[in-house]
Amino acid sequence: MGKSSILLINGSLQRRIHGLIGAFFKSPHLKSQITRDMQSYVQESMAKWREDQPVFIQDETKNIAFQVLVKALISLDPGEEMELLKKQFQEFIAGLMSLPFKNIPGSQLYRSLQAKKKMVKLVQKIIQSKRDHGMISMVPDCPPALYQLTEENMKLKSLKAQHGEPMCWSDYLSLPFTQTVITETLRMGNIITGVMRKAVKDIEIKGYLIPKGWCAFAYFRSVHLDENNYEWPYQFNPWRWQEKDMISNSIFTPFGGGQRLCPGLDLARLEASIFLHHFVTQFRWVAEEDTVVNFPTVRMKRRMPIWVKRREN
Ligand code: HEM
């Protein structure tokens, strides 16, 4: 990742950078710009979906998320450079959980580090050219949940249409059931399985000694799927969140916690809400069989193929 990655720096520097990132993503101006971008990327992507071939939801959502973030961070629109950046990014990510053979050409880590170098060069080039031009500035298989989710989003869609108003970010985040669906999805299928920590001194946790210098992995998935914490943990049940506080607590930490709490959490929820809104209000679908793979990263084995049919208005 590089020694200046925010995940590796500590102390006051990490706090300062964390604060800056948090403030950046909280800015109302950015939120409204990002909402517009997300809407148009979601719509553009869905406009290309065909009814006579499967749509791979995992690829589509990853692509949209990547475009939104790159647009927000370096003002790059979809196109050739975006595609190149995406290719290098995918190669880089593939090496994050791999055997540590960084000097052996052909190894996953070697390819990942090469991809990172290319990515950095490309981003620097893009930023420089923007500067020169003065431009910097799942719904799992649960029909009742799907029904309620669709109802809630359809209602908002027709309300907005009646008033002739566009949807804004607070509209998306105001849908209570949709938020519980996202929360439950984060509990059951979060892509971040846990976080690494290094003990800076000997420390005892629940009777176990972690010696100074040792690394520990806090495995969120085991907490999120523990029946002592959640009744029927492998059942997709968004209603379990209806009366609960969704802010991170010790048994629900998809975005981490403490001073490293993910500063992109609102953005991630917004993006999921926009995707779900356009998805359930414009399409019906049948999903093919697929299973979750947990290691080394959480993903769908067959990239989540579905067959879609456009709803008639
Ligand atoms: C579903 C989507 C996301 C999940 C589950 C997630 C989860 C996490 C987690 C668990 C951490 C803590 C890492 C640690 O403690 O070592 C983290 C940190 C971070 N996240 Fe996210 N994240 C998501 C989306 C985003 C987005 C969209 C952004 C930016 C736009 C973002 C930016 C960051 C940054 C910069 C940090 C490092 C914070 C620090 O170390 O001070 N994340 N995220």
Segment 215-239 mean pLDDT: 91
- What separation in Å is there between the alpha carbon of 266 and the centre of ligand 1? 11
Residue that has been written with the tokens 């953005």 in this structure: 267
Q: Which helix (H) or strand (E) holds 204?
A: strand 203-205
- At 60, list the tokens: 């589509």
Residue 136 banded pLDDT, cuts 50, 70, 90: very low
Phi, psi (deg, nearest 5) at residue 126: -65, -45
**What tens digit of pLDDT does each residue of 56-92 get?**
999 999 999 999 889 888 888 888 999 999 999 999 9
**What tens digit of pLDDT does each residue of 283-295 get?**
999 888 888 888 8
Q: Which atom of ligand 1 is nearest to the CA of 65?
A: 27
The best mutation among 262, 274, 276, 298 to test binding of ligand 1, ranked by most ligand atoms within 8 Å of the C-beta, falls on: 262
Pick from 243, 239, 250: which is nearest to 180 by CA?
A: 239
Residue that has been written with the tokens 């939120």 in this structure: 31
Residue that has been written with the tokens 């992507």 in this structure: 45
Give the CB-side neighbour count of residue 277, counting CA atoms within 13 A.
28
- What separation in Å is there between the alpha carbon of 260 and the centre of ligand 1? 8
Give the pLDDT confidence score for residue 247 in this predicted structure.
61
Q: Which helix (H) or strand (E) holds 209?
A: strand 208-210
Q: Which atom of ligand 1 is nearest to the CA of 6?
A: 40
Residue 158 banded pLDDT, cuts 50, 70, 90: very high
- ipTM of predicted complex: 0.95
**What tens digit of pLDDT does each residue of 33-63 get?**
888 889 999 999 999 999 999 999 999 999 9
User: Is 7 a pocket residue for ligand 1 (Cβ < 6 Å)?
Assistant: yes
Give the pLDDT confidence score for residue 137 in this predicted structure.
44
Kindly report the average pLDDT of the chain as a whole number. Answer: 88
Give the pLDDT confidence score for residue 246 in this predicted structure.
60
User: Is 189 a pocket residue for ligand 1 (Cβ < 6 Å)?
Assistant: no
Residues 6+ apart with CB under 8 A from 58: 299, 300, 303, 304
Q: Is 221 helix (H, G, I), strand (E, B) or coil?
A: helix
User: Is 18 a pocket residue for ligand 1 (Cβ < 6 Å)?
Assistant: yes
- At 20, list the tokens: 């800056």
Rounded-to-integer distance, Cα 252 and Cα 132, Å: 45
Helices 108-132, 57-74: inter-axial angle, 10-degree rounding: 40
- What separation in Å is there between the alpha carbon of 7 and the centre of ligand 1? 9
- What separation in Å is there between the alpha carbon of 215 and the centre of ligand 1? 20
> pTM for the complete prediction?
0.78
Has residue 249 got a pLDDT over 90?
no
Q: Is 154 helix (H, G, I), strand (E, B) or coil?
A: helix
Q: Is 117 helix (H, G, I), strand (E, B) or coil?
A: helix
Rounded-to-integer distance, Cα 71 and Cα 33, Å: 10
- At 71, list the tokens: 């647009």
Pick from 175, 181, 153: which is nearest to 241 by CA?
A: 181
In the chain, the amino acid numbered 187 is R
- Domain formed by 11-75+141-310, architecture: Orthogonal Bundle (1.10)
Has residue 29 got a pLDDT over 50?
yes
User: Is 264 a pocket residue for ligand 1 (Cβ < 6 Å)?
Assistant: yes
Segment 21-34 mean pLDDT: 79
Give the pLDDT confidence score for residue 100 in this predicted structure.
81
Residue that wins the pLDDT comparison between 106 and 157: 157
Query: Which stretch of 230-239, 254-263, 288-297 has the lowest confidence by average pLDDT?
Result: 288-297
In the chain, the amino acid numbered 49 is W
Q: Which helix (H) or strand (E) holds 177?
A: helix 176-189
**What tens digit of pLDDT does each residue of 118-133 get?**
998 998 888 888 776 6
Q: What percent of the chain has pLDDT over 70?
A: 94
Distance of CA 209 to the CA centre of its chain: 34
User: Is 256 a pocket residue for ligand 1 (Cβ < 6 Å)?
Assistant: yes
DSSP 220-250: HHHHHT-TTTSSSTTS--GGGGTTS--S-BT
Rounded-to-integer distance, Cα 104 and Cα 208, Å: 37
Segment 212-240 mean pLDDT: 92
Give the pLDDT confidence score for residue 255 in this predicted structure.
94
In the chain, the amino acid numbered 119 is M
- What separation in Å is there between the alpha carbon of 261 and the centre of ligand 1? 7
- At 257, list the tokens: 């916690």
